[in-house]
Amino acid sequence: ANDGYDLWLNYRTIEDAKLLAQYQKNFTGYYIEGNSATMQAIDTELKKALPLLLDKKIDKVNSINDGSIIISTGKMYIDLGNELQSVGKEGFIIRSVTINKKKCTLITANTDIGAMYGVFHFLKLLQTNTPTDKLSITSVPKLDLRLLNHWDNLNGSIERGYAGKSLWKWDELPGVVDPRYTDYARANASIGINGAVINNVNSNPLIMTEEYLPKVKVLADVFRPYGVKVYLSISFSAPIRLGGLKTADPLDPEVIKWWQAKTAEIYKYIPDFGGYLVKANSEGQPGPQDYGRNHADGANMLAKVLKPHNGVVMWRAFVYNSSPTEDRVLQAYDSFKPLDGDFDDNVLVQIKNGPIDFQPREPFSPLFGAMPNTSLMMEFQVTQEYLGFANHLVFLAPLYEEVLDSDTYSKGKGSTVAKVIEGELTTKKLTGMAGVSNIGNSRNWCGHPFAQSNWYALGRLAWDPEASSADIANDWIRMTFTNTEAFINPVEDIMLNSRETTVNYMTPLGLHHIMGYASHRGPGPWVDRAAQPNWKSTYYHRADKDGVGFDRSTTGSNAVSQYFPPVRDKFNSLETCPENLLLWFHHVPWTYEMKSGNTLWDEMCYHYYDGVKEVRNMQKTWEGMQPYIDSERFEKVKTLMEEQEWEAVFWRNGCVLYFQTFSGMPIPKGLEKPN
């Protein structure tokens, strides 16, 4: 049995006998230089992993022998020239080397945490059955901040969380320290995640009180050896709510003083505290605009307070109001673009990947590329708020990859979103990626066994935004389940196709935000007319008897103008707009002829029907996987797929029948009646 607790750190004996024999010969013991908390954690990890993987006793050794794995950050065993310097604070080098005629594997870095990343990488090589005779690996993370954002509330609930309650047991802390906190940090370290914002962006300011800070400190202490820094989401009105001041105006000297004192207090508990994440003037949260100040005034005030402590501010760009007239898609860009260049050096503007809200498919946010004098960081959502919660198998790396690979053309061809967030196209160089966590206290962390792959993918893409989804899926399957090809190939296919499948049965052709109104579960394209007559800007399909889709071309809300040419022109024209974003940018007649020759109506029906068919194919493929894995995870996935199929049918029928009331056209021949 396997309850999924071990995630991708599911160390099992190498299945291939020949390879196992080779590894057993190559690796005889491990040698660790140094004794820091991080080195001790490395020791613990190797002590656990190596005997399981290699099916033999394998110990820490005190001298270098044939087959030693050497972990060192101080002593140089071979001349690496400038190479070691070039890997910076967090990178590492893994080399097959000969030292005093002994054949060894050297894992080295400038810091202990770099060495830890190297050790996890080395273990991954074994877990994925990679040949290890002539290793020559150099790896450096391309982004500085690689973070999880937990939307965890102090009462233990998680906003948009689908895998149980918060991991943080505030009622037990600081006295009782759940060992799970260590496993959480290990899992993060294994994929290079180096920070956690532990509380909801809709922040309860109590987190900054004397009652909670000692508890937060304990978490920081547990995470520290694994290189995971703690950050907090703050409430902009904390000076009023906690400090009893009359205002939270960022330019008020008393307010600044309050933040200075509070921040100094936090650093007393946590000397390497990371900084603040801020949701301001968004969805009812307080912010600088309440005092006639702008986002830069607010961010810079906090930045100056954090600066002497080396902390950063991550200021979210997720702002909109429910205006009946202004297209929501325009609002983040319109609010932030004019502030380019105004933010301090230790501020990052954190931007959701698309201009609305974590939809199954959106175009990339036009802010990427539009603020060349600001550090911009990516916010992806790992928790599946709009993608079937933890009930649907949706591998999100292809969604992330699609955004990162998008070309903004901000500095000509090749100005991808990845390059923007890597700081290559901006004058300010602080870089980062955040993922809104899908982790809870359910035994397998993420609810759906495959949802673990999204946490994994976020880490891998934060380390290298140009990594490929296929590689990530392949590694994850091997580490989490098995190296048997008969399992890997079909399951990799399932994963790589799963996002498009979900788009098909939920929001094909650029449809968006037609989910159930508040829960965001199941279809709800009918909501705008019924429950929210004033929120015309929220539900966007704009179906009528002439057609469907939101006109954001130059004849409509003109959102296309927020993109650089030629992207702007491509989106603007009905002929060149990618069909998978057609209804995002255009209101299109039901009888419009698509590239396939089908009418728009027929094409929409085919997508919805295909989505359901693809879920059923996925179920069939999964049935055949039973021989290769444990029954516990097999059955769990099987049951969840039944739920997914049920919901896919609900989506298809709900949407097709609803839109049919406008198109008045028949469901294409050959498709079953949706009932």
Nearest residue to ligand GCW by CB is: 357
Question: Which of 5, 6, 3, 8 shows the shortest CA–CA distance to 482?
Answer: 8
Residue of 159, 183, 357, 630 marked active site:
357
CB of 282 to ligand GCW, least distance (A): 6
Per-residue tokens: 46: 């190797």
Q: At what angle do helices 452-463 and 397-405 cross, to 10 degrees?
A: 30
CB half-sphere exposure, 497, CA atoms < 13 A: 18
**Catalytic residue status for 159:** no
Distance, CA of 292 to CA of 586 (rounded, Å): 36
**Catalytic residue status for 357:** yes
CB of 273 to ligand GCW, least distance (A): 22
Q: What is the DSSP letter of 391?
A: G
**Catalytic residue status for 340:** no
Cβ proximity to ligand GCW: between 44 and 519 the closer is 519
Per-residue tokens: 282: 């968004």
Check: CB of residue 337 under 8 Å from CB of residue 367: yes
| C-alpha triplet 290, 294, 300: angle, nearest 5° | 115
Residue of 16, 59, 211, 283 marked active site:
283
Cβ proximity to ligand GCW: between 137 and 206 the closer is 206
CB of 274 to ligand GCW, least distance (A): 19
| Cβ partners under 8 Å of residue 335, min gap 6 | 295, 317, 319
Cβ proximity to ligand GCW: between 276 and 358 the closer is 358
| Cβ partners under 8 Å of residue 171, min gap 6 | none
CB of 203 to ligand GCW, least distance (A): 10
| Cβ partners under 8 Å of residue 542, min gap 6 | 548, 549, 550, 551, 587
Cβ proximity to ligand GCW: between 404 and 434 the closer is 434
Cβ proximity to ligand GCW: between 159 and 630 the closer is 159
Q: Which residues pair with 158 in a beta bridge?
A: 152
Q: Which residues pair with 276 in a beta bridge?
A: 232, 313
CB of 357 to ligand GCW, least distance (A): 5
| Cβ partners under 8 Å of residue 566, min gap 6 | 409
CB of 534 to ligand GCW, least distance (A): 19
Residue of 90, 362, 385, 422 marked active site:
385
Per CB under 6 A, residues contacting ligand GCW are 151, 159-160, 201-202, 279, 283, 318, 357-358, 385
Cβ proximity to ligand GCW: between 444 and 507 the closer is 507
Residue 213, Cβ neighbours under 10 Å: how many? 20
Cβ proximity to ligand GCW: between 31 and 358 the closer is 358
CB of 602 to ligand GCW, least distance (A): 32
Hey, which bits of 169-223 come out as E strands? 195-197
Just list the catalytic residues. Answer: 283, 357, 385
